[in-house]
Structure 1
Amino acid sequence: MIKTQQQIINDGYQALLSSLGPVETIRFLQHFNLGAGDYTQERRAHPAPSLDTIAEEMEILPAPNLDQYEEII
């Protein structure tokens, strides 16, 4: 019996999962994913902030509350 394309794809996924496990299967499949969109165009539309801007935004952040943790002895 000849398998359909979908059956072959499903068998391939199952073989990968059995051999590599779920995490490594995803990593393997991501290697072949070219992604979508135009990185260069998106980068130009949203230029990186200057270091001065980053420093100013960091100063706005609230200081961490270090008293929130109790020492356990």
Structure 2
Amino acid sequence: MSAKTLHQVQQEGLDVLVEKLGPDDAIRFLQIYETGSGDWTVDRKKILEKDPDKIITSIMEKRKNVPAP
């Protein structure tokens, strides 16, 4: 018994999805798992603050500018 190629596994997976979910829902399911771009490990260091006090202060400042419901 030989191992399946990645293409064969992909095709069988798509066939099962379409069989079980139908074409429309199979497409919707695949869209959930769309691959993104970039490197989250690198990006999060740029985006996220490391100091919890700075994060809390930033949140509190932003809340001051939001009108009460």
TM-score of Structure 1 vs Structure 2, range by shorter chain:
0.3 to 0.5
Give TM-score, length-normalised by structure 2.
0.47
When Rg is computed on C-alpha atoms for both structures, the one with the higher figure is 1
